[in-house]
Amino acid sequence: MVIPCIDLMEGKVVQLVQGREKALEGAPALEMLERFEPFPEIQVIDLDAAMGKGSNETLVGELARRARCRVGGGVRTAAKAKALRECGAYRVIVGTSAFTKHGVNHALLAEIASAVTPERLVIALDSRGGRIVVKGWTESIDRTAEELVRELEPYCHGFLCTYVDKEGMLQGTDLAWFRRLRAATAYEITAAGGITTIEEIQELGELGIHAALGMAIYTGRLDLVQLAQL
């Protein structure tokens, strides 16, 4: 499955390079949602909420009511996760708050899973330099995604795994890393970060891994009509 991404900052659809530098702005969010109508699921990330710099709550709610969306960004409490589900989010993505300095934040994940059910929870495993990164990819913990994925399984439906080293750079992703992740868990995996070609998407598909696409779509590198047919 191909999952188009809508990343929101100050009410606008944007694409960032490695989570820092804004590379471009897309069309208005509702227009992008219409373009993505052929796809079964859309990924919506509130970057302002993720960075603790505000919120796009109203817009996120509007998108979630109109399409099947997995929504993330700033989900730090069970109440926030529940609120996203109540506003229409099909699934909720939890990133930074899923971890402590030393590993898994079991207490909080148990609360969130109880609030929204594990079937509606996706945990983000963002990796740079082989280590999990958190807080907008500004800090790392000394554990790998492969090491922690089994420990996270009781709380969620699947994992959003971003190869941060190539995020937004249109230089390809690390298929070897995704093969290791696939070997580590039978749960649903969605790959993100640097995916640039149809061939990469097909290889991921052969592994039973979904592809979340941002920059390759917004720059026109990949064609939406062709992607919808995969």
Instruction: Encode pLDDT of 170-223 as tens digits.
Output: 788 999 999 999 999 999 999 999 999 999 999 999 999 999 999 999 999 999
pLDDT score, position 139: 81
What CATH number does residue 28 fall under?
Answer: 3.20.20.70
pTM: 0.94
Determine the structural domain holding residue 104 and report its residue range: 2-228
Catalytic residues: 7, 126
Average pLDDT over residues 3-20: 90
Residue whose pair of structure tokens reads 């330099």 in the numeric block: 129
Indicate the pLDDT class of residue 137, thresholds 50, 70 and 90: confident
> How many domains does the chain contain in total?
1
Q: What is the DSSP string of 142-207?
A: S--HHHHHHHHGGG-SEEEEEEGGGTTS-S---HHHHHHHHHH--SEEEEESS---HHHHHHHHHT
pLDDT score, position 136: 76
Q: How many CB atoms sit inside 10 A of residue 198's CB?
A: 16
